[in-house]
Amino acid sequence: GQQLNQSPQSMFIQEGEDVSMNCTSSSIFNTWLWYKQDPGEGPVLLIALYKAGELTSNGRLTAQFGITRKDSFLNISASIPSDVGIYFCAGFMYSGGGADGLTFGKGTHLIIQP
């Protein structure tokens, strides 16, 4: 199946710092999604991107759909303690053929040091 490389695997940052993480794919997608998972809960959708080059913000979060359609990044500005969690990218390629699914990256574990 398709492979998504998400990096970094983990980040240790100070409160107030900006965060950047990215995903690259071996093949193209027509949708990129970013999720956050808190301990003991299911992933929650943060941002959805549908168009190559698209830049979308959700509060302190900004994500971009790469021009090549094979990559995406997520930035978090001025991190706060509640940003702690695991962030997943996911790619989707709808072909109408009925065999479509989300491919997930392995996650970036964000840890904020006081």
Partner 1 sequence: EAQVTQNPRYLITVTGKKLTVTCSQNMNHEYMSWYRQDPGLGLRQIYYSMNVEVTDKGDVPEGYKVSRKEKRNFPLILESPSPNQTSLYFCASSPGQGAGEQFFGPGTRLTVL
Q: Give 74's contacts (C-beta < 8 A, 6+ positions apart).
A: 20, 21, 22, 34, 46, 47, 61, 62, 63, 87, 89
Interface contacts to partner 1, rule CB under 8 A: 1, 31, 33, 35, 40-45, 48, 88, 92, 94, 96, 98-102, 104-107
Q: Based on CB atoms, which residue is closest to partner 1, 43 or 85?
A: 43
Q: Based on CB atoms, which residue is closest to partner 1, 41 or 59?
A: 41
Alpha-carbon gap, residue 93 to 29, rounded angstroms: 5
CB 103 within 8 A of CB 33: no
Q: Based on CB atoms, which residue is closest to partner 1, 39 or 114?
A: 39
From the CB of 14, what's the least distance to partner 1, in Å?
Answer: 26
From the CB of 99, what's the least distance to partner 1, in Å?
Answer: 7
Q: Based on CB atoms, which residue is closest to partner 1, 14 or 41?
A: 41
From the CB of 33, what's the least distance to partner 1, in Å?
Answer: 6
From the CB of 58, what's the least distance to partner 1, in Å?
Answer: 13
